[in-house]
């Protein structure tokens, strides 16, 4: 009888010990799991990785839902920027390629700043290797176990775009008008500027292409928060120059139809002291070549040389002899051009 009791007690003890071992192992696994999650997923580096992965996946909704993602009005105003910057560029279609994301460092502050971390990641933006540092802070926890984080400094950039000699530009395939967010009573300007919130890191390809103006494409890698200045120099293209050349040639040809020595409102003419015996015949021997550069409020062509040609019979007042003046007459002409609201050119000779 006693032997049976002893056997049962032995089995019971072994069962209790086994359960205790299993419980210890489960607790250890749980602690390890919590530690692993806090180290990888719920760490400062893991929080920043969520942001970068969202950009890599073109998932702007997830990126914009992260705490501290947007700059405060005070931070924007401190940088001389308006507090109501448009979200136009905060869309999936504008994001470029972000690959090869790797954690470089995760450094915690000391003392009272120990809850603040500086996290640096390496990555490739459209194939170009770069790095970006992020400042984040511990903002709480979940169930008293998992840390939660937020950005101390917003990772968003501000693209401050100055379109020279026009108002529109194209960024990563999206065409924008810098005047879209201007005040209704804002005067029309020869050049225009606007600022937009934008994701970083991203490569922004900026250009301008319209019927009359072209700006060379430029790639702007943005790998830091804060303002980035971009100048888009919209210059006259061949169509623009060709239209002005045609208008200038037409004007000079019209001047050449006047059968007088000094055609009215024209840049060429000739004075002859002798008696004119025939109607002067003008033609244009060499048209000025139009080359336009940007001025303060128009595209300008400086005084440019050309050659008119005259044929006219004259008689000497001295001895009565007759002769034919058949010669080139040099002249120069300059002009200014503006593009009107309907796209037509307004040309002012000077």
Strands 157-164 and 226-233: parallel
Question: How far, in whole angstroms, is CA 225 from its chain's centroid?
Answer: 15
Q: Tokens representing 236?
A: 């006259």
pLDDT at 341 over 70: yes
Listed in order, strand segments (DSSP E) in the chain are 98-108, 116-125, 128-142, 146-151, 157-164, 168-171, 174-177, 192-198, 202-209, 213-222, 226-233, 235-236, 275-276, 281-286, 293-294, 299-315, 322-339, 345-349
Cβ–Cβ under 8 Å, residues 221 and 243: no
Task: Find residue 322's DSSP bridge partners.
Answer: 315
pLDDT in tens, 116-133: 999 999 999 999 999 999
Q: How far apart are CA 120 and CA 41, in angstroms?
A: 16
Stretch 36-48: mean pLDDT = 76
pLDDT in tens, 258-274: 999 999 999 999 999 99
Q: Tokens representing 185?
A: 């009573």
* Cis-peptide, bond into residue 201, ω within 30° of zero: yes
Q: Where in the chain is the domain with CATH 2.60.40?
A: 157-236
Task: Choose between 4 and 78: higher pLDDT.
Answer: 78
Residue 29, pLDDT score: 44
Cβ–Cβ under 8 Å, residues 167 and 235: no
Please, what's the largest Cα pairwise distance for the chain? Answer: 165
Stretch 86-90: mean pLDDT = 96
pLDDT in tens, 188-244: 799 999 999 999 999 999 999 999 999 999 999 999 999 999 999 999 999 999 999
CA angle 332, 333, 338 (to 5 degrees): 160
Phi, psi angles (nearest 5°) of residue 168:
-105, 155
Residue 242's H or E segment, with its range, is helix 238-255
Rounded to two decimals, the pTM is 0.82
pLDDT in tens, 308-339: 999 999 999 988 899 999 999 999 999 999 99
pLDDT in tens, 263-305: 999 999 999 999 999 999 999 999 999 999 999 999 999 999 9
Residues 6+ apart with CB under 8 A from 279: 259, 312
Specify the DSSP class assigned to residue 98: E
Q: How far apart are CA 285 and CA 280, in angstroms?
A: 15
Task: Choose between 38 and 87: higher pLDDT.
Answer: 87
Residue 19, pLDDT score: 64
CATH level 2 (architecture), domain 157-236: Sandwich (2.60)
pLDDT at 186 over 90: no
Q: Tokens representing 170?
A: 């194209």
DSSP secondary structure, 113-165, as one string: GTTEEEEEEEEEETTEEEEEEEEEEEEEEETTTEEEEEESS---EEEEEEEET
Cβ–Cβ under 8 Å, residues 180 and 193: no
Phi, psi angles (nearest 5°) of residue 316:
-65, 130
Q: How far apart are CA 131 and CA 224, in angstroms?
A: 9
């Amino acid at each position: 009888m006693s032997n049976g009791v002893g056997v049962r007690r032995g089995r019971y003890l072994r069962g209790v010990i086994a359960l205790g071992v299993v419980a210890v192992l489960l607790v250890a696994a749980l602690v390890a799991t919590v530690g692993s999650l806090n180290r990888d997923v719920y760490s400062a580096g893991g929080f920043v990785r969520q942001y970068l992965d969202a950009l890599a996946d073109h998932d702007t909704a997830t990126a914009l839902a992260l705490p501290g993602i947007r700059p405060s009005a005070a931070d924007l105003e401190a940088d001389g920027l308006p507090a109501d910057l448009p979200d136009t560029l905060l869309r999936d279609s504008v994001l470029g390629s972000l690959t090869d994301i790797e954690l470089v460092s995760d450094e915690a502050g000391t003392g009272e700043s120990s809850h603040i971390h500086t996290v640096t990641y390496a990555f490739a933006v459209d194939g170009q290797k770069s790095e970006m540092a992020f400042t984040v802070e511990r903002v709480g926890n979940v169930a008293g176990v998992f840390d939660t984080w937020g950005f101390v400094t917003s990772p968003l950039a501000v693209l401050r775009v100055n379109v020279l000699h026009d108002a529109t530009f194209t960024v990563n395939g999206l065409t924008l008008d810098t005047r879209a967010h201007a005040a209704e009573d804002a005067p029309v300007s020869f050049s225009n500027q606007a600022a937009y919130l934008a994701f970083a890191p991203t490569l922004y390809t900026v250009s301008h292409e319209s019927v009359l103006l072209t700006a060379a494409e430029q790639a702007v890698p943005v790998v830091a928060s804060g303002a980035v200045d971009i100048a888009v120099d919209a210059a006259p293209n061949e169509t623009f120059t060709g239209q002005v050349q045609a208008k200038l040639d037409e004007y000079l040809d019209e001047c050449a139809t006047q059968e007088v020595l000094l055609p009215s409102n024209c840049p060429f003419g000739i004075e002859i002291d002798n008696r004119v015996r025939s109607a002067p015949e003008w033609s244009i021997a060499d048209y000025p070549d139009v080359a336009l550069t940007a001025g303060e409020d128009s595209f300008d062509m400086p005084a440019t040389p050309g050659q008119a040609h005259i044929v006219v019979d004259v008689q000497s007042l001295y001895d009565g002899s007759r002769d034919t003046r058949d010669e080139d007459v040099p002249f120069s002409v300059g002009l200014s051009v503006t593009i009107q609201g309907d796209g037509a050119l307004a040309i002012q000779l000077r």
